[in-house]
Chain A
Amino acid sequence: MSELTKKTDEDVIEKPLPPNWILQHPMYQHLMNLDVGDSAQVHAAFLVYLDLAEVRQWKEVSGVGCSELRLVLLEGREKEGEPTQTVLPLPVHRGLCHRSVRSVLARGSPMLLCVVASDSSLVYQRMCDGLLTPDPPVCIQDQGRRQHRKRRQQH
C-alpha cells in the first residue's frame, strides 16, 4: 500500500491538493471500507498511517479491521525483516478499556497504542503483557553527602 503513495522527485507535479484530499486517498477509502470503526477512529487511523508510512518509513503498513473491538488497527514493520507490529490508533477523547488492550495483545505481535490529538499530534505508547522490569537508574553510586549539600545550597 505504501508504494502507491511514494513518488520520486521527478514524478511530482506540483498541483494544489483539493481540500478533501484525505477522503480521496486510497488508503483512507480502504480503511473506511473495512466498515468497523467510526469516522473519528478511521480518521485517526489514517493520520497514524501517514506518520508510519511517510515519516517513519515503516514497511508494509496495512489496515486491518477488528470486528470484536469495532476498531481499525494498523500493522507494519519498522524495518525490513523485522517482525510485524500492531498499532492501535485512537482519538484522544475516547476512553480505553483493559479488555480491548488484552484483545489486541492477544494477536501476538508487539503492540503500540497511538493517541491522536485534535491538532493531529501523535503519541505512541508501547504495551506488553506481564511484568516488564524497568531499566535501572543511570547512576547507582552512593552520592554520600552531596545530596544534602545540594539541598542546603537551595535555601
Chain B
Amino acid sequence: MDSPEPKRTVSREDASKESMAISRQVIGINFCGPTPLMWRADELKSARELGIIGTLVGSLARQPRQNTRLGRPLELLPEEGRLLADMGRAAVIPDSTNEDPEVNPEQVQQYHAGMENSFQEQGAMALEDRKTTLLRVMTAKHNGEGTSSLTYRHLCDTSESCVLALTPLCFLLEDSGSQEDSNGAVRDRLEALDHGFSFPRTAMAVQLCTARAGLSHCPEVRRLLATDWPIPRDERSETRFRVFRDLRRQGFYLTSAGKFGGDYLVYPGDPLRFHAYFIVVCISMDESMPLCDVLAIARLGSNVKKTVLLCSSGESQEDDGEEVVYTSLQWSGMV
C-alpha cells in the first residue's frame, strides 16, 4: 500500500512521488448532519485542483466577530461531495463522537493512565520548584539581603495552591538563626517539604489537544469507507447532481448561488479570478414554472450581467449518456 507520508530525503524523484501521492490521496469528508465538511488544509487544496470550491464556514480564532474572512471547515454542496465520492477521491469518515465509552474501554483506560502519569510528573516538578525557591530564599537571607517581604510574596506567587507547603515557610522567614545554624535549618526545611508537600489534583494542568489525532485517518481505512456515501433518491437532487456533473465536465467551476436565487453560479475559471457567467436554475422537464418567477430571475440576471440557464436532465435512466439540456434566458432588448 502506498504511504502518503512525505520522505525526508531531497531527491527529485521523491519530491515528484510525494506530489503524486498527495494528488492521489483520498479526501476525508466528515458529515455534520446532512452537510459534508472538510477539515484538512492539504485536502482543501486537492479538492480545489479538482474543481471543487466549497465555502469556508469556520470562525477564525483570532478574528472571531466578523464573517468576511472565514476559516475551515469547508462546507461542500451535496453535489460536490457526491462527485468526489463517485470519482473515488473521497470517503466518509464515520462520526466517532457518539460512541459509547463502554465500547472502547481500552481507550478510556489509556486516557486515565495518561492522566495519572501526568499528575505524578507534575507533582514531582512542583516539589522541585518549591525546593529551589526555598533554597533561594535561604541563601538570600543568609547573605543578609533583607528581601524577606519580597521573597514571601514571591513564594505566594509561585504556587497559590500549595498552601500546605507555604505554612512552614512563613515561620521560617521569621527565623533569625545564626550562620552555622542556617545550613542545618535548610536541610531540615527541605526534609519537612519532602514529607509535608502534597500536590492537589485541582492544581494539575490538563493538555487539550487542538489538533485532533482522529483527523489523520490512514488511507486504507478511508478506501474501505468509500462506499458509505448517502445518496438521496429524490428527483430534484438527482437533477441537480447531473447538471453539476455535466457543467464540471465541461470545465466550469460551480458554487452555490444563494445570493441570486438560483441553484449554482458558474464560472469559466477559478472563482477568485473571474466573474460568474451563468446563474443555473435546475428544473425537471415537466415541472411548471410560474411565469412571474421566470421573468423575475431573468430580469435579475440581466441586471447583474449573468445569463440565466434553465437546466434539465434528459429522459434516460442510466447514469452515463443522459443529456442535460440548457436554455439561456437573454435580455430581449424590446422595451
Known: A115-B295, A123-B295, A134-B306. A98 touches B327 (CB 8 A): yes
The number of chain A residues touching the other chain, given as a range, is: 20 to 34
Bound complex: CA A97 to CA B284 (Å):
8
> Which residues A34-75 have CB closer than 8 A to chain B?
56
The A108-127 residues at the B interface (CB cut-off 8 A) are 112-113, 115, 123-127
Q: Is the CB of A101 within 8 A of B310?
A: yes
Q: Is the CB of A128 within 8 A of B327?
A: yes
Q: Is A149 an interface residue (CB 8 A)?
A: no
B286 near A127 with CB under 8 A, answer no
In terms of DSSP, what is the predominant structure of the interface of chain A? mixed
B291 engages A94 (CB within 8 Å): yes
Q: Does B309 contact A (CB under 8 A)?
A: yes
User: Judging by beta carbons under 8 Å apart, are A129 and B291 in contact?
Assistant: no
- A12 is an interface residue with CB less than 8 A from chain B: no
The interface residues of chain A lying within 8 Å CB-to-CB of B326 are: 129-131
Contact, CB under 8 Å: B285 / A96 = no
Please give me the residue from chain B that is nearest to A91 by CB atom. Answer: B291
B25 at the interface (CB under 8 A from A): no
- Flag if A98 contacts B310 (CB, 8 Å): yes
Query: DSSP majority for the B interface?
Result: mixed
Is there contact, CB below 8 Å, between A131 and B294?
A: no
Of residues A56, A113, A127, which shows the largest number of chain B Cβ atoms within 10 Å of its Cβ? A127
> A82 CA to B301 CA in the complex, in Å?
28
What B residues does A135 contact at CB under 8 A? 305
Q: Any chain B CB within 8 A of the CB of A18?
A: no
Chain B residues with Cβ under 8 A from A132's Cβ?
A: 307, 328, 330
Hey, which bits of chain A sit against chain B, CB under 8 A?
A: 56, 90, 92-99, 101-102, 105, 112-113, 115, 123-137
**A-B residue pairs in contact (CB < 8 Å), sample of 29:** A56-B334, A94-B291, A95-B289, A96-B291, A97-B287, A97-B288, A97-B289, A98-B287, A98-B312, A98-B327, A99-B286, A113-B294, A115-B291, A123-B295, A124-B334, A125-B294, A125-B298, A125-B330, A126-B333, A127-B327, A129-B325, A129-B327, A131-B278, A131-B309, A132-B328, A133-B277, A134-B278, A134-B307, A137-B305
**Chain B residues in contact with chain A, CB under 8 A?**
275, 277-278, 283-292, 294-295, 298, 301, 305-307, 309-310, 312, 325-334
